[in-house]
Amino acid sequence: MQAEVKNVEKRGLAMKHFAHFLRHPLIRIFLAPLGFGIYGLIVGMYHTTEINWLALGYLYLILVSSQLIDHYFFVRFNTRKANASSPVILYAMEILLWAATVGFMWQHHWGANLLLLLYIAYTHIQHYPYNLTNSLYQLILNVFFQAFIVNNLAYFSQTGTITTGFLISLLPLAALQLAFQAEGNSLVSQLTGHPSVMPHGLKTSLVLILSLVAVAAGTYLSFPSKSYFMLQLLFIAGSVLTLAPLLVQTRQHNQSQNKLNYLSTSYLLISILYGLAFCF
């Protein structure tokens, strides 16, 4: 009996350390942005004969720098810490962003380049001149760009084409992104005082339903399995374990910020698991 209790305590401690790792600020800065395109990269690399590492590097730099720029504008226009971030960081990230963008555009079709420019433009204008923070418009546009556009750019960077099957496979990620945006909307409301798009009770139910739909749809679309269902089971188990902490309610400022960090990183993890399950 005591051995069982100790095993439960060890598993609980391991989960606590894992959750702490996922919400670490450095993980959110340098790894979480890749979550917007990691699924497209995994599937694209699976379907190509030669991996375009240069395009992958450009895309990574674009995502990291654009998210840091987005965070700068969020702090500048939505919090009481308007002077907390140095403009030097903004200028450095702008240089990095546009250098990587030119490199990416030099390699790719004008259609993909146009989508990339739309993503960059949205990153810059969602907080100024008209602040979309915590609005229904921002929620919808974030799902559109972060679930569809960036993954399409990532897939196209490896394969040079976009297929109907790939577009359909993005639907589970869109449902998951919508769930995470709804949760993030509530957390940002706690951090900044901006009104939330939906009541708390409706938000909790919506997040739970959309998360379950995303996992179920992702599992269905990953069939037939090439790994004797091992990766499909890993996707289901990993998603459930990663999503479980989202049920914990936050009331303090630092708890809300930690949960916001956790959202970004957990989306990356689930996208990786889904990409592997879909390919294998």
Give the Cα separation of 90 and 97 in Å (integer). 10
Residues 14-25: tens digit of each pLDDT: 666 777 777 788
Tell me what pLDDT residue 159 has.
Answer: 97
pLDDT at position 128 is 86
Per the structure block, which two tokens stand in for 183? 């949760």
Give the rounded distance of the alpha carbon of 36 from its chain centre: 5
pLDDT for position 12: 57
The pLDDT of residue 211 is 96
Tokens of residue 150, six digits: 């960036």
**What confidence score (pLDDT) does residue 54 get?**
97
Q: What's residue 13's pLDDT?
A: 66
pTM for the model stands at 0.93
Nearest alpha-carbon partner for 103 in 93, 94, 111, 113 = 113
Task: Provide the sign of the torsion angle of the four alpha carbons 224, 226, 229, 234, taken in this order.
Answer: negative
Mean pLDDT by 10 residues, the chain (280 residues): 55 66 84 96 96 97 96 85 74 97 96 96 91 92 97 97 97 97 90 80 88 98 95 96 86 83 93 98
